[in-house]
Chains A and B, each alone.
Chain A
């Protein structure tokens, strides 16, 4: 399962892992913003934008196959837009590389552009998630002014996803092993409703118990948490390098006169 892969990679060690989570988060957000600021016909310019994610992945010791696999699961939107662009956009563009020039319909360029941006965006995000333990990321968000209650929620979500997925799998298996596939529609529907409904009730009870456990440890509504993020010189250098890279890739390299 991808979640546990991400966790495993995130627990590793590398120069990227040791960077402050806030720096990585800011860098990825900045990168994504610059990425989508390229216009819809930019394809070869995007090559320069591959440096940031690939560098993060290589230096962060994250296997490329894993990151690319995440990107291969194309969002249906991207696929649709790419496909439909080739049908609808008939404007013609001259693409030049070295001494060669080619006239390509705008639709194909858009398709390539959208797919490239999507892939690069996923690579960058995966790079961050695989080099930053989720708990640190949450702390970074909290420090960067995300509301405390939201961050606590995200923590709970992350913590209990697998517990609940396991529960769901067990209950669903119990349903399936009793031949629900052969049942008529009405009974199939009732079974599905029952599985999900009982999950809901179980979860309600569970959150009551968790609340009780929290109160037993002194919780009074004000979430306190550990401060483990410590920014250093490496983070400043990282941010500067990233900023320089983005400026170069976006505004200086594809310089047109």
Chain B
């Protein structure tokens, strides 16, 4: 049954608008590039048929592999697609799959499409494929066992790296009030297992195809990229890691939110000085960010322009009386709002019932 599978897709609510926008842009760019690239290696006429391959992935995800009695593993698909169809076609196909999963099965949020396409499309297809090629080595395509192990390893790498991005994106959004290190550990740990099993399934599929239709396995190499050197690929993996690290640290500096709780708890006393947002660039970005939440929450955080975390704490400690007053007024406003909402809903419901009755009458007429 569709929809009974636990979807490890990112949801809207874990993201902030800027992060959602940025990841959407990045994902769009990556898919566009991949589409152009895929159009060169396959017939560009056949590009729409990647959709049919997407349906294959859906179907393949339904096939369970009983690892232990009661526990089944499933295929994610990104790495397998990349190995069989090439990374470009893989990315394009996975993007289509994720969009349909979001729309038809509500797996993953609408605004989280960008992150999902990156985590479960671009990363497994591109980096997983790079890992595959690296492990395969050059000129030894004939060796079956090497191919199988490369496929398995590629899954491990691709799936885990993609999962590792989730805490990064959540951190950048500042929605999370969970220590990033713990989140990262859990995500990576769980997905190492998932990647392990997916790797087994992928290797079994490759083994089957190799025996039944070996020509397919040569499909992923267009002539000119066959010479992509190991150095280039290792280089791209390193660059990616550096970029990731750079992005994480930039966001961490600029958005202390995710680490805010620890300041509140005064556990990291000496970290106060670690977050100084005096840079005009960061201040202006903060300004822009603040505009998205002009009437934010009840209590401490007023305008967060360039404020140091310990100032926040002091503010709230200084004005409990003001707080109570604000809270009191808030209370009536909230109540009024709730009543207003209830009344509106009631009106809408009546209208819809009337509409239904009217069209019901005209149908029977």
Q: Is the Cβ of A78 less than 8 Å from the Cβ of B11?
A: yes
B353: chain A residues at CB < 8 Å are 58
Q: Is the Cβ of B7 less than 8 Å from the Cβ of A75?
A: yes
Contact with B along A146-162 (1 / 0, CB 8 A): 01011011111111110
Does B31 belong to the interface (CB within 8 Å)? yes
A160: chain B residues at CB < 8 Å are 51-52, 55
CB distance from A52 to the nearest CB of B (A): 10
Q: Measured between alpha carbons, how far is A161 from B2 in the docked complex, in Å?
A: 11
A200: chain B residues at CB < 8 Å are 56, 60, 84, 205, 209, 216
Does A88 belong to the interface (CB within 8 Å)? yes
Does A84 belong to the interface (CB within 8 Å)? yes
Q: Is the Cβ of B50 less than 8 Å from the Cβ of A153?
A: yes
Does B352 belong to the interface (CB within 8 Å)? yes
CB distance from A128 to the nearest CB of B (A): 9
Contact of A189 among B166, B200, B293, B331 (CB under 8 A): B200
* Interface size, chain A (Cβ < 8 Å): 117
Chain B, range 37-59, C-beta contacts under 8 Å to A? 44-56, 58-59
Q: Is the Cβ of A91 less than 8 Å from the Cβ of B341?
A: no
Q: Measured between alpha carbons, how far is A57 from B64 in the docked complex, in Å?
A: 35
B296: chain A residues at CB < 8 Å are 39
CB distance from B235 to the nearest CB of A (A): 30
Chain A, range 194-228, C-beta contacts under 8 Å to B? 194-201, 203-204, 206-207, 210-211, 219-221, 223
Does B196 belong to the interface (CB within 8 Å)? no
Given A193-B206, A204-B216, 5 other A-B contacts at CB below 8 A?
A: A88-B178, A94-B299, A96-B298, A188-B65, A199-B63
Q: Measured between alpha carbons, how far is A220 from B43 in the docked complex, in Å?
A: 11
Given A1-B2, A36-B12, A77-B10, answer yes or no on A94-B327 (Cβ-Cβ < 8 Å).
Answer: yes
* Interface size, chain B (Cβ < 8 Å): 116
Question: A-B pairs with the 10 shortest C-beta distances?
Answer: A193-B204, A96-B331, A156-B51, A197-B208, A153-B51, A168-B59, A58-B352, A152-B48, A164-B59, A160-B55
Contact of A95 among B75, B295, B298, B348 (CB under 8 A): B298
Contact with A along B273-296 (1 / 0, CB 8 A): 000000000000000000011111
CB distance from B338 to the nearest CB of A (A): 5
Contact of A254 among B44, B53, B58, B295 (CB under 8 A): B295
Does B125 belong to the interface (CB within 8 Å)? no
Contact of B6 among A55, A76, A117, A181 (CB under 8 A): A76
Q: Which of A125, A147, A190, A192 has the most CB of B within 10 A?
A: A192
Chain B: CB-nearest residue to A171? B63
Contact of B340 among A2, A37, A48 (CB under 8 A): A48
Sample 28 A-B pairs with CB under 8 A, ordered by A number. Answer: A2-B3, A3-B104, A33-B111, A35-B12, A36-B15, A36-B16, A58-B348, A59-B355, A76-B8, A77-B14, A78-B13, A81-B178, A89-B261, A93-B297, A114-B175, A126-B106, A149-B47, A156-B49, A164-B52, A168-B63, A188-B65, A189-B200, A195-B63, A196-B208, A200-B84, A204-B216, A251-B295, A256-B333
Chain A: CB-nearest residue to B35? A149
B209: chain A residues at CB < 8 Å are 197, 200-201
Does A165 belong to the interface (CB within 8 Å)? yes
Binding site for B on A (CB under 8 A): 1-3, 6, 13-15, 28-29, 32-33, 35-37, 39-42, 44-45, 47-48, 50-51, 54-55, 58-59, 61, 70-71, 73, 75-78, 81, 84-85, 88-91, 93-101, 106-107, 110, 113-114, 117-118, 121-122, 125-126, 129, 134, 137, 147, 149-150, 152-161, 163-165, 167-169, 172, 181, 185, 188-190, 192-201, 203-204, 206-207, 210-211, 219-221, 223, 251, 253-257
Q: Measured between alpha carbons, how far is A172 from B332 in the docked complex, in Å?
A: 60
Chain A: CB-nearest residue to B175? A40
CB distance from A193 to the nearest CB of B (A): 2
Q: Measured between alpha carbons, how far is A118 from B212 in the docked complex, in Å?
A: 45
Q: Is the Cβ of B178 less than 8 Å from the Cβ of A161?
A: no
Contact of B12 among A3, A44, A121, A253 (CB under 8 A): A121
Q: Is the Cβ of B1 less than 8 Å from the Cβ of A1?
A: yes
Which of B91-99, B129-137, B154-162 lies at the binding interface? Answer: B91-99
Chain B, range 281-332, C-beta contacts under 8 Å to A? 292-299, 323-324, 326-332
Does B185 belong to the interface (CB within 8 Å)? no
Does B25 belong to the interface (CB within 8 Å)? no
CB distance from B318 to the nearest CB of A (A): 16
Given A153-B48, A210-B52, answer yes or no on A36-B17 (Cβ-Cβ < 8 Å).
Answer: yes
Given A88-B261, A94-B327, A149-B48, answer yes or no on A129-B17 (Cβ-Cβ < 8 Å).
Answer: no
Q: Is the Cβ of B13 less than 8 Å from the Cβ of A36?
A: yes
